[in-house]
Amino acid sequence: MNTMSWIDNELRALEDESLERTLADTGVSRSLPGHLMRGGQTLLDLTSNDYLGLSRHPDIAEAMRGALRAKCGSGAAASRLLTGNRPPYSELEAELAAWQKKEASLVFANGYMANLGTIRALVGRGDAVFSDRLNHASITDGIILSRAGHVRYRHNDVEHLEHLLKKSDKARRRLIVTDSIFSMDGDSAPLHKLVELKHNYGAMLMVDEAHAEGVYGPSGEGLCHAMDVHREADVIMGTFSKAFGVYGAHITGSRTLIRWLVNKARPLVYSTALPPSVAAGIFRALGIVQTAHDRRNHLQEISGRFRQKLAQAGLSVMPGDSPIVPVIAGSSRDSLRLCEALERHGIAAPAIRPPTVPAGSARVRFSLSAAHSDAVLDKAAESIVSAAEEAGILA
Ligand SMILES: Cc1ncc(COP(=O)(O)O)c(C=O)c1O
């Protein structure tokens, strides 16, 4: 008896429902910024989270090369709690805390681990976590792992959240957690109202700024700074894999919080530190992000213009002002059909299907980057409309 045959059956079911995911070999175009190479074809890259176009910035690559040349080691070879806490970790964390106007910061291997480890360190049995239904999977997984009560409120529905907070008076500790910019919808969280509820109900507030750092705030600090609520957010999480163009993540907050996480965040304690070259790359990227005003302004302009062009053509564009522009296709099959048509027009953009998004709201998500020019995106908008017609999404 083949005890693993159930997997074949499950995979067949995924395939039949157009829900199977596969890995496609992808390279970057050396000559064209904001483009990628797939199957021998050069495609406009509207898939990546490289919001500021820094993933191929020469100064960041040089900082990483410099660390390798200085023989810092290709790997850290130990957890930070042992001997993996090499330079420039401490300088980087001091700079991150100053940038976020908080007391302290802690670098993690990636955003997934930062969310998982932090939530689990903050809450446990007898506590309650109030989480927006559209929060990132790493938040959901952190809550499940923590064994705290998982209270999901309707997306951005602060009345629903308040109703649930009222009912939770038996919880020992309460944590409200939200993405600031939602990764699959591109809209933003009602941070002012969440701060008010945090105060009224004595809850901690954690904000995941994965898609907002680099993009919002006077020096790219994120949406908490742009909305002037950074003092009230107890825990700020950000990742270096998106606008920073590198890899890794941080949790920033009070000195007490960071001291606690150094002791209790298991992905930090029980996992090897990021390679020193990566920490050096992040450090350089942080300097660039803080002064990348032109890139931020350009990104904001192209995002507004691109949204407007698609909406005017009759596509179902989800509301927001971020560089994440989702267009609803409906069924998973329709979203895949649109992707295929886009590829024929030289555009790469991912179909986002259930269970990542609710059934019936499968979509194609366009992610813009400061590396894209006005002209390239204007042409892309026209191609997207043609592709939508071909795919039968636009009558
Ligand atoms: C909102 C959000 N949080 C966390 C993460 C995880 O970050 P990382 O890619 O650094 O693991 C992501 C990445 O997709 C994200 O979109």
At 395 the pLDDT is 64
- Centroid of ligand 1 to alpha carbon of 389 (angstroms): 33
Angle 121-198-210 (CA atoms, 0-180°, nearest 5)? 60
Residues 6 or more apart whose Cβ sits within 8 Å of residue 386:
341, 345
Lowest mean pLDDT among 55-59, 351-355, 372-376: 351-355
Query: Residue of the nearest CA to atom 4 in ligand 1?
Result: 111
Bond preceding residue 275 cis, omega within 30 of 0: no
- Centroid of ligand 1 to alpha carbon of 111 (angstroms): 5
Are the C-beta atoms of residues 209 and 195 closer than 8 Å to each other? no
Atom of ligand 1 nearest to the CA of 249: 10
- Centroid of ligand 1 to alpha carbon of 6 (angstroms): 31
Summarised one tens digit per residue, pLDDT across range 113-146 is 999 999 999 999 999 999 999 999 999 999 999 9
Which two tokens mark 85?
């806490």
Residues in contact with ligand 1 (CB, 6 Å cut-off) = 110-112, 115, 136, 138, 179, 183, 208, 210-211, 239, 241, 249
DSSP 29: -
At 176 the pLDDT is 98
- Centroid of ligand 1 to alpha carbon of 249 (angstroms): 9
* pLDDT of 212 above 90: yes
Architecture in CATH for domain 58-290: 3-Layer(aba) Sandwich (3.40)
CA distance 138 to 132: 13
- CATH annotation of 24-52+293-390: 3.90.1150.10
At 136 the pLDDT is 97
Query: Residue of the nearest CA to atom 5 in ligand 1?
Result: 111
- Centroid of ligand 1 to alpha carbon of 13 (angstroms): 28
Beta strands 41-45; 35-38: pairing state: antiparallel
* pLDDT of 21 above 80: yes
Task: Give me the residue spans of the domains in the chain.
Answer: 24-52+293-390, 58-290
* pLDDT of 30 above 90: no
In terms of Cα–Cα distance, which of 105, 47, 34, 42 is closest to 262?
105
Are the C-beta atoms of residues 215 and 243 closer than 8 Å to each other? yes
- Centroid of ligand 1 to alpha carbon of 114 (angstroms): 9
Which residue among 107, 108, 118, 138 is best mutated to probe the pocket of ligand 1, counting the most ligand atoms within 8 A of its Cβ? 138
CA distance 326 to 330: 12
Which residue among 239, 241, 365 is best mutated to probe the pocket of ligand 1, counting the most ligand atoms within 8 A of its Cβ? 239
At 355 the pLDDT is 86
DSSP 126: T
Phi first, then psi: what are they for 183, rounded to 5°? -65, -30
